[in-house]
């Protein structure tokens, strides 16, 4: 049976890095954040943290807390017909977990990538992205925004928890183990 392995965690916990590692293994990756970035571009907005956060909130308010999940499901289903494993990067809330469990059943596996605040802040400061956060207060606000979408509850529903406090090689070993099991 084909499986969707979905990564959940706070910003800069290592979700996108884990997704890159999966892609390096030849596993297709669907990024839920791409839905938000595409919608922001369609609206003519710059992809700043503030703008992307506003678009994500707007989508959830207008279309429901599972709106981004609903938009990704057709792509996931198509990829599942062609691949044994598909990675989903960017679960942000409990409604998305419930949606995917309802529509994918046992084919949905949730992996919480856990990293301490100080390490996440260090990583996020080194990013070369338009939505980069520079201060602890900005990261706390982003954490709180995502917690408002049910992020904590989503992380608590994880089938697997991976601690990401060490080297990239240690993370790679843990990710490869999960993706091969």
The predicted-structure confidence for 160-173, as pLDDT tens digits, reads as follows 999 999 999 999 99
Tokens of 54: 């506003």
State the chain's mean pLDDT as an integer. Answer: 93
User: Does residue 62 lie within any of the structural domains?
Assistant: no
Residues 6+ apart with CB under 8 A from 129: none
- Distance, in Å, from the CA atom of 149 to the CA atom of 92, rounded to the nearest integer, reads 7
The predicted-structure confidence for 52-66, as pLDDT tens digits, reads as follows 989 998 999 999 999
The number of domains in the chain is 1
User: Does residue 57 lie within any of the structural domains?
Assistant: no
User: Does residue 48 lie within any of the structural domains?
Assistant: no
The CATH number of the domain where 104 resides is what?
A: 3.40.50.300
- Distance, in Å, from the CA atom of 10 to the CA atom of 113, rounded to the nearest integer, reads 8
User: Does residue 55 lie within any of the structural domains?
Assistant: no
The predicted-structure confidence for 36-45, as pLDDT tens digits, reads as follows 999 999 999 9
User: Does residue 40 lie within any of the structural domains?
Assistant: no
User: Does residue 129 lie within any of the structural domains?
Assistant: yes
User: Does residue 60 lie within any of the structural domains?
Assistant: no
Look at residues 4, 10, 8 and name the one whose alpha carbon lies nearest to residue 133: 10
Question: Is residue 77 predicted with pLDDT exceeding 90?
Answer: yes
The overall pTM is greater than 0.75 = yes
User: Does residue 107 lie within any of the structural domains?
Assistant: yes
- Distance, in Å, from the CA atom of 78 to the CA atom of 159, rounded to the nearest integer, reads 24
Instruction: For residues 82-103, give the mean pLDDT.
Output: 96
User: What pLDDT score was predicted for residue 49?
Assistant: 80
Q: Which domain holds residue 152?
A: 3-32+67-180
Question: Is residue 16 predicted with pLDDT exceeding 70?
Answer: yes
What is the Rg, in whole angstroms, of the alpha carbon atoms belonging to the chain? 15
The predicted-structure confidence for 96-125, as pLDDT tens digits, reads as follows 999 999 999 999 999 999 999 999 999 888
């Amino acid at each position: 049976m084909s499986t969707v392995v979905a990564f959940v965690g706070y910003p800069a916990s290592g979700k996108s890095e884990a997704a890159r590692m999966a892609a390096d293994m030849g596993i297709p990756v669907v990024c839920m954040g791409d839905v938000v970035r595409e919608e922001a571009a369609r609206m003519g907005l710059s992809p700043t943290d503030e703008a992307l956060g506003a678009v994500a909130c707007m989508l959830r308010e207008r279309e429901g807390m599972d709106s981004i999940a609903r938009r990704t499901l057709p792509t996931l289903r198509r990829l599942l017909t062609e691949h044994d494993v598909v990675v989903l990067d960017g679960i942000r809330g409990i409604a998305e977990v419930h949606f995917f469990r309802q529509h994918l059943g046992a084919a949905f596996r949730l992996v919480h990538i856990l990293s301490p605040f100080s390490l996440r802040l260090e990583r996020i400061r080194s990013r070369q992205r338009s939505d980069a956060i520079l201060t602890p207060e900005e990261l706390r606000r982003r954490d709180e925004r995502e917690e408002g979408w049910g992020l904590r509850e989503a992380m608590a529903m994880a089938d697997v928890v991976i601690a990401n406090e060490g080297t990239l090689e240690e993370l790679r070993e843990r990710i490869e183990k999960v993706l091969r099991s």
